[in-house]
Amino acid sequence: MFKAVHYSEVPNEEVEEEGAKKVQVRWLISEKDGAENFAMRCFEVDPGGQTPKHSHDWEHESFILSGEGVVFCEGKKQKVSQGYVIFIPPKAEHYFKNTGKKKMVFLCLIPYKK
């Protein structure tokens, strides 16, 4: 199935997971679109917000589109901003936090659990 839409046409959902604060996600490409191997998501983190601290069995590949913040991974913090590429290995405890004054927006790709 072919899909080509502007990202703003994809619903923006509040992340309800415990520990999430001021975070929304758009599932840009998912199983609903026929993607069998990966999902592409767009996260928007408002100033002062953060994703929950968590870990799981799969990796993440992320790309910061705008804003600035901190990524915590495996006990280390790294400042990030527009243009940063981030790899989160499987089972690594991690979170993203917006430390700036504008919304931090990033793409995040994950494999489907098989």
Using alpha carbons only, what angle is made at residue 89 by residues 86 and 90, rounded to the nearest 5 degrees?
Answer: 140
Are 44 and 102 contacting, i.e. CB atoms less than 8 angstroms apart?
A: no
Six token digits for residue 62: 């992320």
pLDDT at 114: 52
Q: What is the pTM of this model?
A: 0.93
Q: Measure Cα distances from 88 to 1, 13, 56, 98 in Å.
A: 29, 23, 10, 17
Are 84 and 63 contacting, i.e. CB atoms less than 8 angstroms apart?
A: yes
How many CB atoms lie under 10 A from the CB of residue 105? 19
Report pLDDT digits (tens) over 15-60: 999 999 999 999 999 999 999 999 999 999 999 999 999 999 999 9
